[in-house]
Amino acid sequence: MNPRLVGIAAVLAIVGLLVFASLRAPAPPSQAPRRVDVGYLTPFGAPTRPFSPAVRVGDLIFLSGQIGTDPSAAGTVVPGGIEAETRQTLTNIKTVLDSIGSGMDRVVKCTIMMADMGEWDRMNVVYREFFAAERLPARSAFGTSGLALGARVEIECIATR
């Protein structure tokens, strides 16, 4: 037998096998798609507004934005300016996280909305009190033309369990 013809036949056989393999139906996935566990957390009872205070998706916890309202007051923002509002806002965040089994040390991302970006430095002084220097969350911030109840600052967070 001609060695050249044997080589050509071998190459054609390999190409044929590759073409045949590519035409076969794909193998079924080894497992069904995983459903992510979602929980709508209401640590203080049913929400009075149309949003959940926190939503857990797997091991992540998404907190709704918090403003500096005093829990003992009738939904009014604490007096005292940006420092007092920032402190109360972060205290409110801490309270929600603690009540659902997380904590400030598990916050991985914050978004800060401010009515006046000129108050940025004063807000940051208080913000630093709530996070360890070696565990600062990722963060973004932007100015806005208005916040709920006339607040100066609103902060939303993402944390882990």
pLDDT confidence of residue 11: 52
Helix crossing, 120-128 with 81-99: angle to 10°?
Answer: 40
pLDDT confidence of residue 160: 97
pLDDT confidence of residue 21: 56
- Pairing between β-strand 138-143 and β-strand 54-57 as defined by DSSP bridges: unpaired
DSSP single-letter state for residue 72: T
pLDDT confidence of residue 70: 87
Torsions phi, psi for 96 (to 5 deg): -65, -50
What is the CATH code for 38-160? 3.30.1330.40
pLDDT confidence of residue 31: 73
All residue ranges of the chain with pLDDT < 50 are 5-6
Structure tokens belonging to residue 51? 């949003």
CA dist., res. 120 & res. 117, Å (int): 5
Which residue is associated with the tokens 């009075």?
Answer: 48
Task: Answer for the pair 55, 62: CB distance below 8 angstroms, yes or no.
Answer: yes
pTM score, whole prediction: 0.76
Q: What is the dihedral of CA 80, 154, 70, 150, to 10 degrees?
A: 60
Q: Which of 48, 63, 57 is nearest to 103 (CA)?
A: 63
CA dist., res. 139 & res. 124, Å (int): 12
**Averaged pLDDT score across all residues of the chain:** 86
Q: Domains of the chain: which residue ranges? A: 38-160
